[in-house]
Structure 1
């Protein structure tokens, strides 16, 4: 490698003896970093060493950052037995997600749990994990993108309007959506009540992110976040949306709490790991008691971030409705990556974490997306007690982002989009449909959790990227 960095160079900038050095050298040997000059590479590695939490979700530097996260003294023991929990579509779920859920079921605060059919490995709880805890909240059991959600608007325009007006709708998407960290609206809705919430003054970590939250209001994140036009097909006459059976134009969005939620998650995970030292396999499941000041602070900050995510979606749909010149006939919104205070079947009060899982209590409406070429489903919860009133939040990943980039070609993605009549604005191979599980199989494994009221089929998809 041209930067010629050696282990001693890393020791000089504070890298500890151990696997972190070897893993850093392995990353530097990869193609994107081979030609980085020595000074820049060392400066970057110093940043990772000083604040590893910032890089634990970075695709390239994650293995290094994980080794550098401080390891507190381990004085909180796990229970030797794994509490029983229900797995929906067990044969459909990767081993890593099951192992993570097993560890979560050994926590001394765990009351109950469930694993959804879209489950795959994450941090702390697996994506698709549901965990009921006794008077405690786990920041990484909620996740980085606090309150991430789906929002659907259904318009009184026929499905045929989509094909007749593709060019116009494409332009509306580009003009009225913003993605990632670089795109913001020049005219921001500074009158939104969310920006006047007292938590922005009273909680230090939220106060530090208020200016960024103002700028990012109404925007969407990167990764799997999107805004898209598609066909809504209502199939159940008793759908609860007061919509006649038939097809409509719809707008579907998926995004979360942007930089505000990520910063809150990082900050309180550090606090939890310091106060609640756990064995290595459980360290990201550190919790905060709701009887503590830190626990109450996180709970308030989490709710702020969730409401901020909702405000972003409302702004997206307001802009899209105004651009279309139409008021929605109906709207559906549901969220995941959150914790709720709920009463379990045995009458016990619990903090129910749904990381990549959505509420599916009796009569609760939601939408479960597929991929950019597969339909999503409008659903109504059945209140299944064994799933802790939960269902999947989507199809779930079949391939990691790195695997998708290595295994799927641009040509394959273009053919897939063409075959389904989908136009993609932005996006990348890591979000290709082939990276996801078959949403129909996922839905088949949760028939006892939700009733299907209709579907949403994407046609013009906007994501982060050129």
Structure 2
């Protein structure tokens, strides 16, 4: 009998296999059973990977629902199209679109804000980003005084980093907790702790609590804007890690930020379920703030509806990744109860819209006014004191910053011209405005970093 030669990892690499966890077990099995060449190859068949999935040679075509109206916008639109052209080479993608509020964020190939990317049988965590299910909710307060609603809401809501202290937390729904604990992506102490303490909080950045009156009825309405906070951010980090594992295995040419989790895997199904749980949590996060404000004023709501604008929507085997795009199509929202909401800036109305799906809008509308320049560029472009800029841009409005520090990068001038966005919505068939919530006032986080605890500590030293 021919003497068996012991094999090692280099033997498997020479046969075309990439080093994997199964190497150790396979080497031991081959050596212990003294498998000959043909027997060894037959045994190793089970470990063969599918061929690597290559990038599309040319970008998949996408709809451009945006036009530049000045030099600043020309650069912004060019940057948006540039990053979309790279993004649309991702192997899973079959369609895409950009909205009038589109602006690039991050490296080339990262989905822009105001972008929609349609993937087949794949979920891309990087295309919904850390702020999973960023969304808006409206409650109709009837003939309540707008000032009373804003004051009551200010005493209840919570902006800034972190969550609520234990004594100020809202009661957590036990059925939702059971769903969290049953999901492999969410069932850990960090996720559960964030879910509990961040309930009833709004974070920072462009998130807000807006009070105004309906142009059509005169009723007072409250609109909140926020995402899934630390709860969703934890899921995003885990999703990116799992997607990266798949990327290395099946499509190493794909950019890291465009890695995906195949839906037809155990991880894909579990991640999709986790996204739905985060969606439920985020809706509840809006509701507890709205309900507590109603309760404080001793009134009942007359109407309520909401929509996400930063999420993944499923239709058959297609996954619509909307990075800052409002779903118009009812099939994307299983709990649809009313029209959609598109906020512009604190001095402009929140638009209440409906609309039909077209070949170019893919069932989506803008999510707001968007930016043409970065926050840093905006700060540098302003002259005068912060207080002077604030007073000029918020005249006749009750605008508050929860941190008591004005954030000029959230003032109206930081955003695209609202009239332009509305005109392009009409031009490209991106929803019909059926009502407007005329601004009375709003609350935002403000410059939460200016007097942050870690900065105060550093100054004391």
Q: TM-score range by the shorter chain?
A: 0.7 to 0.9
Matched, 1:102 2:46: no
Matched, 1:419 2:395: yes
Contact 2:390 2:408 in 1 (8 A): no
Match of 1:430 among 409, 413, 421: 409
Q: Which residue of 2 aligns with 1:391?
A: 365
Give the CA deviation at 1:416: 3.1
Matched, 1:369 2:343: yes
Give the CA deviation at 1:341: 1.2
Give the CA deviation at 1:76: 4.8
Cα distance per residue 1:81-120 (max 9 Å; x no partner): 1121111123255322222211222122111111111111
Matched, 1:212 2:212: no
Give the CA deviation at 1:293: 2.1
Contact 2:159 2:201 in 1 (8 A): yes
Give the CA deviation at 1:315: 0.6
Provide TM-score, normalisation by structure 2: 0.75
Match of 1:84 among 55, 61, 72: 61
Q: Which residue of 2 aligns with 1:251?
A: 222
CA distance in 1, matches of 2:373, 2:398: 21
Q: Which residue of 2 aligns with 1:291?
A: 264
Provide TM-score, normalisation by structure 1: 0.74
CA distance in 1, matches of 2:418, 2:254: 30
Report the 3-state secondary structure (helix = DSSP H, G, I; strand = E; otherwise coil) of the residue aligned with 1:270.
Answer: helix
Q: Which runs of 5+ in 2 are unaligned?
A: 1-51, 331-335, 449-461
Cα distance per residue 1:220-276 (max 9 Å; x no partner): 111111112212212xxxxxxxxxxx2111111000101011111122112212321
Q: Which residue of 1 aligns with 2:32?
A: none
Match of 2:309 among 332, 336, 353: 336
Cα distance per residue 1:162-200 (max 9 Å; x no partner): 3xxx3x445313211011224516333324256423233
Report the 3-state secondary structure (helix = DSSP H, G, I; strand = E; otherwise coil) of the residue aligned with 2:271.
Answer: helix
Match of 1:352 among 320, 337, 341: 320
Structure 2 counterparts to residues 154-303 of structure 1, below 5 A: 154-157=140-143, 161-162=145-146, 166=147, 168-182=148-162, 184=164, 186-193=167-174, 195-208=176-189, 209-234=191-216, 246-277=217-248, 282-303=255-276
- 1:327 and 1:434, CA in 2 relative to 1: closer, same or farther beyond 3 A? same
Q: Which runs of 5+ in 1 are unaligned?
A: 1-74, 235-245, 344-348
Give the CA deviation at 1:407: 2.5
Q: Which residue of 1 aligns with 2:131?
A: 145
Contact 2:180 2:192 in 1 (8 A): no
- Shifted more, 411-420 versus 369-378: the winner is 411-420
Matched, 1:446 2:425: yes
Q: What is the aligned length? A: 371
- 1:223 and 1:206, CA in 2 relative to 1: closer, same or farther beyond 3 A? farther
CA distance in 2, matches of 1:309, 1:206: 17
Contact 1:199 1:300 in 2 (8 A): no
RMSD: 2.4
Structure 2 counterparts to residues 39-54 of structure 1, below 5 A: none
Cα distance per residue 1:289-336 (max 9 Å; x no partner): 001222222212211111111110011110111122221211120102
Give the CA deviation at 1:443: 1.9
CA distance in 2, matches of 1:365, 1:169: 22
- Shifted more, 210-219 versus 276-285: the winner is 276-285
